[in-house]
Structure 1
């Protein structure tokens, strides 16, 4: 099961924020994340806050059912309107994630989006994304989403090789994600992403190249490629511990990343975040950029995290407990923290350094600046941007991003 929520101070029953959270809000963009916590099966590597029907049976009754989930989530959107008061900002991004959002009826996803439109309004150029399992959509489903206002979709492809998908416990058929891209384009989706995972036990360089070729050949304008992380408590971690499959290899991860960057660049994709490539600035995922740049977003749904004006909070994890709180007229928030100036400085370095534009050097303390100069000398930071006052990772620096960040936050 997913890891525990962090500690924090209690969230008021009405969800009220400190007055300081909305100071200057008009100068910050606002996004919404909508979490759909249901999956048909649990993938072996997954530790997200998701639940199968078997896992929910007897643990929340009708409150945990996905049949009435859309209405429950709409209640949190209405709560958000009350908490944010007369905040005039229209919503700039909406991202529906999970879980498998497309296990809900397409009309349910549109209903959730309509609630945001009705309570807050959507910016004229709003980016509206949903994640989708390739086996849970068809042309009719996609047409309903597009007509309802969704303009971006992200399919979980992970790999083009059957034996790799089997290790990951992915149930879709190889070739189906590529077909989904064509169906999404036919439905009128302007932007389409494919998610890939590299470094799965048993995957070879040739397997990875085949996955990249298949993904790019399908014609998306965005690709996310993530190194497989084996999380404790997952089925994959247990299989590795029992010796059924080998442990993932850091050197293989590095090799696969270099292959990905080479192949993507040759296909006209540019990296804009360590794990994300796009064909143009318009094809970038603006919602994720909000996260990386510390913008405001409200996360609705079980276990969802939110951030507004330096206040971060998170909801109760279980769908039944989440629904019960809203039914009782209470915030589903489980805890929150008020970020200090130092917290926000450190987070800016952690997140902005992952971006193509990098992080301003004036965020660094003397020890961090000295570490940045060493990273520059070691070829981990690019000299041109450094001279202009920014720390920007080189390709080698991207391979060692976590280590570079740790040194710079000192």
Structure 2
């Protein structure tokens, strides 16, 4: 009988590091930290892809990067803690190969923990998204930042023989990132991976590349300077990092970020008076906005001297436009893709049409009953009953003011349809004035 020996393959040296080493714990720590941080502000980003990108980016760079540095530092000092430095020095593999064999599994797990947080955040946004789409470039850039932090931490752990080096490094990194990011307008702040544009902004095409070269170049420089057989090669990634850093520092905010195409575009319903336009990033909310304003726009049908449309964009409305209550930042008017208070939303939209906030109290006192009657008829305040009660329980002047308001409301509601449309048309011709002359009476 011939016995045939089965060939067995020895497991790859990295397999033990990947499966049983410190990496899984570090990955779990990153996943837990980012998930808890994002869950604490769920109302402020869930449903909006740009908001999700912004919160993910801040959590990954401001919290994840110091944690990755600390994990790399602790892992880098394990040979010293085990007192196997001299033994490892006699291994066939060189210092660079040994460092990479130790660091790469940790990089894999830290990035995997971040990827898990990204998947959870994207799933949380996807089912109630209001338009727009994910931002994978930001995710890839932040993954490089975390990987670079692990590599840099690994070098620090091998150089600094102190058990408290890892937590101290995390604290220092958090402080430095926070200081650099405190004023994003500052030139040095552009070197911080935490700094980002506003929610409506997206980076220019080369900004993620420059940030990747800047952070990755510094990490590779540290690795080569510490462990490479020919340490002079560390000059190459250092030069690349310096060039990328100089480009970031010398470019102002307008050169690094620009308003996204969707943030500048409006999605409109032209069947109403005025037309209703919302920011294209929240285009899926248009039916809810239409429904919330249906009472207001229905009562304005046939009325002249109105703005052409409600618009939803930052800054002052254009000529013949009225400002729609801002949907952003989400977490107030909008939570998880739903308008939270449709009645209040309609009242705020109405106040943009006939509110005279730019006029003084003395100027508006004479036609206060008229303005209040229009407000009551078109889109009353959710607190109208409360304010009426306050006036009723106030001074004699307050009670007289309430009586004048109630009388004006009754007269406006008692008008016929044609008469009321004509009166409202005359009224809306005067809403841009702060003088009583020309305001129709009730």
What band does the TM-score fall into relative to the shorter chain?
under 0.3
Identify the structure with the greater helix proportion. 2
Identify the structure with the greater strand proportion. 1
Q: Which has the higher contact order (CA 8 A, sep 6+)?
A: 1
TM-score, length-scaled by structure 1: 0.23
TM-score, length-scaled by structure 2: 0.22
